[in-house]
Structure 1
Amino acid sequence: MSRVLLGIGSNKQRHQHIQAGVLALYQHFASATTPMRISRVFESAAVGFVGQPFFNLVAEVQTQLSVAEVNQICKEIEQQFGHSAAAPKYSPRTLDIDMLLFDDLISREPVQLPRDEILHNAFVLWPLAELVGSLPHPCTGLTFTQHWQQYSSSQQLQPISFDFEQLPHLYQVTPSTLITNN
């Protein structure tokens, strides 16, 4: 089984699309033997364009599928909820699901892994540090907790209260596991 970490975001009908995206991923990947774990949900300003704030989180799933197969599932879920593959990189999103890590694989194709934005965007790094803080980044060797503690940027984000439908094999990080950034 491979450990896959996925970044999930939305700034259009945010609550609806985050709920739907997590449910769709849950239906593909979660079971009694392979639970799905998620970070808290964060609200952050749009990065790279002027737009409505985003809701973001990170999900961890276990799978026997290949990188290409997981990526295809993510793109199909995005399209199901109105995300156009032709949309510019920095633009509003109904639902965006990006593969951040696939075990400790380093690759450029079929997707870049680990994803560059991990170390540049607080809305990816903070949830990763909460969810898998002791996991080392495949390229730097530092843990995600160490990266978050060293992170310095003006990007603002805030954890928010977000209730997911009761899914028996979904585990969400709790506020007691809060990791702060100095």
Structure 2
Amino acid sequence: MAQVFLGLGSNRRRYHHIAAGVRALHQEFASAGKPLRVARVYESEAIGFAGNDFLNTVVQLQTELSIGDLSKACKAIERAHGHPSSAAKYSPRTLDIDVLLYNQEVCETPVQLPRAEILHNAFVLRPLAELAAELEHPVAGKSFAQLWQNYRSEQRLHAVDFKFEDLPYLITPTDNKDS
């Protein structure tokens, strides 16, 4: 069983699409003994293009899917929520789901792991550090809490009030005692 961390982001109908993404991941992956954990939701500026601010969070789950099949499942959820696979990298998003970590795997295909943006974007590192403070980055060799503590950037980031659906096997920020 693989421990996985996914980054979710949206800057179009943001609250709707973050909630829909968490709901879809819950339906696909959560069950007794395999809860879905969600970090706080953060607002940040668009990076790489001029656009509306994004909402971002990180979801932790367990799966028996391979990295490739997990990535395909995430892309199918994106498409189901209006994100075409042909969209430019730096463009508005209804829902973007990226595999950040899959156990401690380090690879370039079928996706880059660990995802490089973990170390560069506050909207990824901060919620990841909330869910996995003591877990070490498989390349940097430091815990995510240490990486966040030492993070330096001009990126604007702030937590927003976000009410998640009350779903079985969903652990939200109010349930995460160490957040």
The CA distance in 1 between the partners of 2:139 and 2:42, in whole Å, is 26
2:29 equivalent in structure 1: 29
What is the deviation of 1:176? 6.1
Please tell me the residue identity of whatever aligns with 1:177: D
The alpha carbon displacement at 1:168 in A equals: 1.2
How many residues get paired? 178
Segments ≥4 residues shifted beyond 3 Å: 174-178
Partner of 1:93: 93
Gaps of 5+ in 1: none
1:177 matches 2:158: no
SS state at 2:37 partner: strand
User: Which residue number in structure 2 is paired with residue 143 of structure 1?
Assistant: 143
TM-score normalised by structure 1 residue count:
0.95
Q: Distance in 1 between matches of 2:133 and 2:48?
A: 27
The aligned runs of 1:68-87 (5 Å cut-off) are 68-87=68-87
Structure 1 counterpart of 2:141, which letter?
A: G
The corresponding residue for 1:105 is 105
Secondary structure class of the residue paired with 1:86: coil
Q: Conserved in 2, the CA contact under 8 Å of 1:131 and 1:173?
A: no
| Percent of residue pairs identical | 53
Match of 2:20 in 1: 20
1:173: Cα distance to partner? Answer: 2.6
Return the offset for 1:33.
Answer: 1.2
Q: Is the 8 A contact 1:5 1:60 kept in 2?
A: yes
Distance 1:140 1:15 in 2: 33
Query: CA 1:158–1:176 in 2, change beyond 3 Å: closer, same or farther?
Result: farther
Q: TM-score, normalised by structure 2?
A: 0.97
Distance 2:173 2:110 in 1: 30
Equivalent in the alignment of 1:4? 4
Task: Find the residue that maps to 1:48 and give its secondary structure.
Answer: coil
Unmatched runs of 5 consecutive residues or more in structure 2: none
Tell me the secondary structure at the aligned position of residue 21 of structure 2.
helix
Distance across 1 between alignment mates of 2:125 and 2:14: 20
Say what the alpha-carbon RMSD is for the aligned residues.
Answer: 1.1
